[in-house]
């Protein structure tokens, strides 16, 4: 699946606008356009991996960097004390709509368990 086919690929190339929250060599974080919580940020690898089930062992370090970036976002957004939720939807059946791997960082409200 070509990265240029996804909205997030276009965002990475600057062809689509986004509200940046955090950026580094391997990851990029920006605000979700349709927030499901007061804070809703998406963290993506710059590498175009369609979904979490597509990662290989060679991506192990990158996945660590993705989690590190998600924590950094939570810290920047002031969520460290209150808590936050990280979500990865894998596949259409789980609600994934954009096929460029992304971690949702959600915070600023109470969260139910189990999730809907």
Q: Which residues bind ligand AMP (CB under 6 A)?
A: 7, 16, 18, 32-34, 42, 89, 95-98
- Dihedrals phi, psi of 56, to nearest 5 degrees: -120, 175
Q: Contact, 53 vs 92, CB < 8 A?
A: no
Give min distance, CB of 44 to ligand AMP, in A: 10
Give min distance, CB of 14 to ligand AMP, in A: 13
Catalytic (active site) residue 102: yes
3-state secondary structure of 105: strand
> Cα 78 vs. chain centroid, distance in angstroms?
17
Catalytic residue among 40, 100, 102, 104, which? 102
Residue with smaller CB distance to ligand AMP, 71 or 96: 96
Residue with smaller CB distance to ligand AMP, 61 or 88: 88
Residue 42's alpha-carbon distances to 48, 57, 58, 85, in angstroms, are 14, 23, 23, 12
Q: Which residues are catalytic?
A: 102
């Amino acid at each position: 699946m070509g990265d240029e086919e996804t909205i997030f690929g276009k965002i990475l190339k600057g062809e689509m606008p986004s509200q940046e929250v955090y950026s580094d060599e391997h990851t990029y974080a920006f605000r979700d356009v349709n927030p499901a919580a007061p804070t809703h940020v998406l963290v993506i690898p710059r590498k175009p991996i369609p979904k979490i089930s597509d990662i290989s062992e060679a991506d192990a370090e990158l996945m660590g960097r993705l989690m590190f970036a998600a924590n950094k976002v939570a810290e920047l957004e002031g969520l460290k004390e209150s808590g936050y939720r990280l979500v990865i939807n894998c596949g259409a059946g789980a609600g994934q709509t954009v096929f460029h791997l992304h971690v949702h960082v959600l915070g600023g409200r109470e969260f139910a368990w189990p999730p809907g």
